[in-house]
Structure 1
């Protein structure tokens, strides 16, 4: 026999962003706590300095793939670097946009500068890669 009564279930479907409070890393040591914009800056630094697929402690979604760009045409590297930076940073729910990319080539180095808009404010980030 199949019951004919209904069960009332209420689900909370509101999403909330977890706190951004985290440990402050300075000179490879934990130096207290940071939150909001400085925590986002540190998260960006960490993800852009972690080679994707390199460390088993991180999921395959964490980090950025830069080693495969070494030796490639500088125009290709600029286009691909922009895509890869946006892809890895926009996974963070605190980051709303990554744009205004500027590139500067100096020998075998490419200096990439871009703006990050987060829920806590704006940042300008610089990343140097070997080409």
Structure 2
């Protein structure tokens, strides 16, 4: 009697990984409506926007690794927020296998607002994005 499960799949020749399309629904930001489909860099850019606007661990419709943990940043020292923001954003966005990395982080403060700009490097190219955190 075998202890391990038996399978007819032969893995001795290796496994071939195939990139799946990243096609998704297009969300029109001006109208707040879904209008058609997008693929490639536009789909990843939209996914980045969604991930940056979701509080991690708060909404049950998202997986636990989806979103950024913004809680705990508001009202903190801008230096701490800048370093922690880079770590949290990198952690959140690299969960998507289409994202290869984050680069060119730059920060600026204007009153009580810390603005972070960065480049998201994807398998389809690079896209620039910006987030703001109220540090007061």
Normalised by the size of structure 1, how large is the TM-score? 0.90
How many pairs align? Answer: 128
CA distance in 2, matches of 1:96, 1:80: 20
CA distance in 1, matches of 2:9, 2:69: 44
RMSD over equivalenced CA pairs, Å? 1.9
4+ residue stretches of structure 1 with deviation over 4 A? none
- Residue in 2 aligned with 1:22? 24
Secondary structure at the aligned position of 1:85 is classed as helix
The C-alpha deviation readout for 1:73-111, integer Å capped at 9, x for no partner, is 100000000000100001111111101100011111111
Contact kept in structure 2, 1:51 and 1:63, CA below 8 Å: yes
Q: Does 1:39 align with 2:43?
A: yes
Secondary structure at the aligned position of 1:68 is classed as coil
Contact kept in structure 2, 1:17 and 1:93, CA below 8 Å: no
Unaligned ranges ≥5, structure 2:
none
- Residue in 2 aligned with 1:10? 10
Unaligned ranges ≥5, structure 1:
none
Secondary structure at the aligned position of 1:38 is classed as helix
